[in-house]
Structure 1
């Protein structure tokens, strides 16, 4: 697997609960290393690296500058899928949809994760 140019690592309240949520909507989780005490997980989507989740207290210990940062994020992440309509039909009952829109003829569905991160789903495209 090729590492991406930038790799998001999201602080979460409960790593297993987050992994369960992401697996429910089509991701696959892997341990990030060999240390069983480390709660970091890699998440793949359609066989490719997508992001990491790490329990907030361990992330704050790793980077003390984050000690007062709340869980969640200001901003959003986009998930490009191979078949927008099929994927959205599958996850709609599993997520909290906060907005549906269309930009330049492309549909986007936004939902929140249990930790308050916003993900926008759109059709995968070549640039």
Structure 2
């Protein structure tokens, strides 16, 4: 698997709760290393790297410049899926909807937040 050029690592309040949430949405979680005290997890979507989640206290210890940064972020992440309509239908009862299905410049979008306040936009997979 080839990693993307930019790999998001989200600080979360409870790594296992974040993993459980994303697994309900069709992601697969992998440990990021061999250290049992390190709870960094790699999340795959449809077999491809999607993002990492890491307990906020560990992330702040790893990178002290983040020590006062709250969990959650200003901005959003986009998740491209093969079948927009069926994926949104499947996850709708599992998420907190922030903006229901809409169309923008010919692209369907669906926005939700995860349990840590991160905004995820679902979109139809496309080539650029």
If the length of structure 2 is used for normalisation, what is the TM-score? 0.98
Aligned counterpart, 2:113: 112
Aligned to 1:102: 103
RMSD: 0.5
Shift of 1:105: 2.0
Whole-angstrom CA distance in 2 between matches of 1:20 and 1:103: 31
The CA distance in 2 between the partners of 1:39 and 1:2, in whole Å, is 22
Counterparts of 1:66 and 1:104, CA distance in 2: 36
Matched residue SS, 1:22? helix
| Residue number in structure 1 paired with 2:52 | 52
Gaps spanning 5+ residues in structure 2: where?
none
Gaps of 5+ in 1: none
Cα distance in 1 between the residues matched to 2:39 and 2:60: 12
Aligned-pair CA distance for 1:32: 0.2
> After superposition, where does 1:1-127 map in structure 2 within 5 Å?
1-100=1-100, 101-127=102-128
Following TM superposition, the consecutive aligned residue runs of length 4 or more in structure 1 with deviations greater than 3 angstroms are none
Task: State the secondary structure of the residue aligned to 1:29.
Answer: strand
Aligned residues: 127
TM-score by length of 1: 0.99
Distance in 1 (CA, whole Å) between partners of 2:107 and 2:6 is: 25
Post-superposition CA distance 1:8-52 (Å, at most 9, x none): 000000000000000000100000000000010000000000000
Q: Partners of 1:104 and 1:74 in 2: how far apart?
A: 23
